[in-house]
Structure 1
Amino acid sequence: MDIEEKPRGGPGGRIALLIDADNVSHTKIAGMLAELSKYGTANIRRAYGDWAKPALKGWTDKLHDFAIRPIQQFSYSAGKNATDIALVIDAMELLYTQRPDAFCLASSDGDFTPLVMQLKANGHEVYGFGERKTPTPFVNACTTFLYLDSLEDPSQQAAAIEAPEASSAAKVKAQPKAAAEKPADKSLAQNTKLVTILRGAVEASVREDGWALMSAAGSAAKRQAPIDPRNYGVKNFTALFTGTGLFEIAKGKNGQSYVADKRNKDRAQRPGG
């Protein structure tokens, strides 16, 4: 069967996951794969590094547990990162041979920015994972970028589900207090770049009544920049819009959430949907 005829895997097709093991902790692999499952199937999984280094010892079991192919790359010259070069070469080879539907680069190294741009120029989505120190150009180049400390660990989630009933009961009692509306986060409101993106997203999806469907506004925001609410300490776009204190959030007659810019004084009192 020709490459062009290969069936797409998962809801978003086949994803090539390329991991810079020198810059990503092995403890994050489960969370990365869980996140990628939202976009498709990571059926190409490779991790790059000099596996003789003691610093990568923790990766050994993870490679087997998650069916990740280790790519050995020796450091031929001191001070030169041969791992980066090997990853880039493989990415370009995969682009023209295996032809995955999307790529995922797990690294905090900004040197991969040109690679991301090239992959996107060829019509591919590029998802990124990295630490907070990841250079802004690399973050902005990706279709979606998520900081590793924002990832939830699936194993911890499972442990929480199996917790004693007494603990669950205590959480239920605490819910009313947690559900109270949080005051606006000044740091979010003062983030000029974020506010500009959110206002632009509402403007791009607003209806005649001055309200925008929350899902449409969220999608519009992600089309502008690789924005993920979890990078700002909240779980979704509803919480992100609310956290700035600059937007009005309301439920429509259809039960869906809507958002409006508070500066728009001509908006309807309630969304018509």
Structure 2
Amino acid sequence: MADLRIAVLIDADNVSHQYAGPLLEELAKFGRTTVKRAYGDWSGENMKGWKDKLNKHAISPEHTFAYTRGKNSTDSALIIDAMDLLYSGNVDGFAIVSSDSDFTRLASRLRESGKTVYGVGRERTPRALQEACDQFLLLELLGTVDPATTTAADEPDEPGEPEAAPDLPNLQSLLTRAVNNAAGEDGWANLSSLGANLRRLFSAFEPKRYGFDTLLPLVEAQPFLVVDKERQRVGLKGQVTQAKPAARRAPAKKTAAKKATGA
């Protein structure tokens, strides 16, 4: 939906400035980013890299002091602004840019109010937050960070042991359910409908997470699927109705020669 008005709310304490451009470019595919705000304690050394990105991409900085370590006032400020925007009625969707599971309830609440919610975070983002969004985009797949321009101060301050990335859903099970949901009476599912259903079942679905650049080569590699490349459709092997070849038309019977005039 090209006219979708999206509010982009960035947890800058939790996300490196290196992703600012790539994530906004990706979100522009879904609509117009009419609100762009980044939240954090801008007095911190680790936030200096954000300055140029804020100016370049017209992102409004929202300052929140980190009064106590471990008690993140950034989360509270972002949540309050999100609810204000919800009730203003001026946006159609939200992009919550964070890997923090504390935003799970916010994402669910916004969806309950009929808003489209895009999550943007790292692969290790807890599954609860990923599934609370209509679609979850992985920062690692949006663009390449240049290691030569990245310093330790660029990385978000995250105390404690890093969380492991949640396990991916079983691909065969996921594809089987998605094909069944999208297929017509003949057992065939349009490729674009299949992609939409995959993201409904697993909001962070991306072919690259399973080792493929796009959806078509992914489904072609599955032995339990049959792919009609010409018609861009997919079905479960043994459960599709193959189109019958067109019947040959019988040659037209020759009409008897007309008798000579006046016979």
TM-score (structure 2 length as normaliser):
0.78
Would you say 1:93 and 2:84 are equivalent positions? Answer: yes
State the distance in 2 between where 1:100 and 1:232 align. 33
State the distance in 2 between where 1:87 and 1:134 align. 18
Structure 1 vs Structure 2: percent identity of aligned residues? 41
1:223 maps to 200
Offset at residue 137 of structure 1 (A): 0.2
Would you say 1:261 and 2:236 are equivalent positions? Answer: yes
Offset at residue 269 of structure 1 (A): 4.5
Offset at residue 154 of structure 1 (A): 11
Would you say 1:84 and 2:75 are equivalent positions? Answer: yes
Counterparts in 2 of 1:54 and 1:238: CA distance versus 1, 3 Å: same
Counterparts in 2 of 1:266 and 1:78: CA distance versus 1, 3 Å: closer
2:176 maps to 199
1:239 to 205, 217, 228: 217
User: Per-residue CA shift, 1:161-189, capped at 9, x if unaligned?
Assistant: xxxxxxxxxxxxxxxxxxxxxxxxxxxxx
Name structure 2 gaps, 5 residues minimum: 147-166, 246-263
State the distance in 2 between where 1:116 and 1:125 align. 9
Contact 2:18-2:145 within 8 A present in 1 as well: no
**Residue 207 of structure 1 aligns to a residue in which SS?**
coil
Name structure 1 gaps, 5 residues minimum: 1-9, 156-189
State the distance in 1 between where 2:58 and 2:239 align. 56
Counterparts in 2 of 1:266 and 1:46: CA distance versus 1, 3 Å: closer
User: Per-residue CA shift, 1:135-170, capped at 9, x if unaligned?
Assistant: 110011110001111113699xxxxxxxxxxxxxxx
State the distance in 2 between where 1:125 and 1:154 align. 28
User: Using CA pairs below 8 Å that are at least 6 residues apart, which structure has the higher relative contact order?
Assistant: 2
User: Per-residue CA shift, 1:200-239, capped at 9, x if unaligned?
Assistant: 1111222333322111211222222312323334333223
CA RMSD across the alignment: 2.4
Bigger Cα Rg? 2
Counterparts in 2 of 1:100 and 1:111: CA distance versus 1, 3 Å: same
Counterparts in 2 of 1:71 and 1:32: CA distance versus 1, 3 Å: same
* Number of aligned residue pairs: 224
Counterparts in 2 of 1:69 and 1:119: CA distance versus 1, 3 Å: same
Correspondence list, 1:45-194, <5 A: 45-152=36-143, 193-194=170-171
Contact 2:19-2:145 within 8 A present in 1 as well: no
State the distance in 1 between where 2:192 and 2:244 align. 14
Amino acid at match of 1:36: L
**Residue 77 of structure 1 aligns to a residue in which SS?**
coil
State the distance in 2 between where 1:108 and 1:137 align. 11
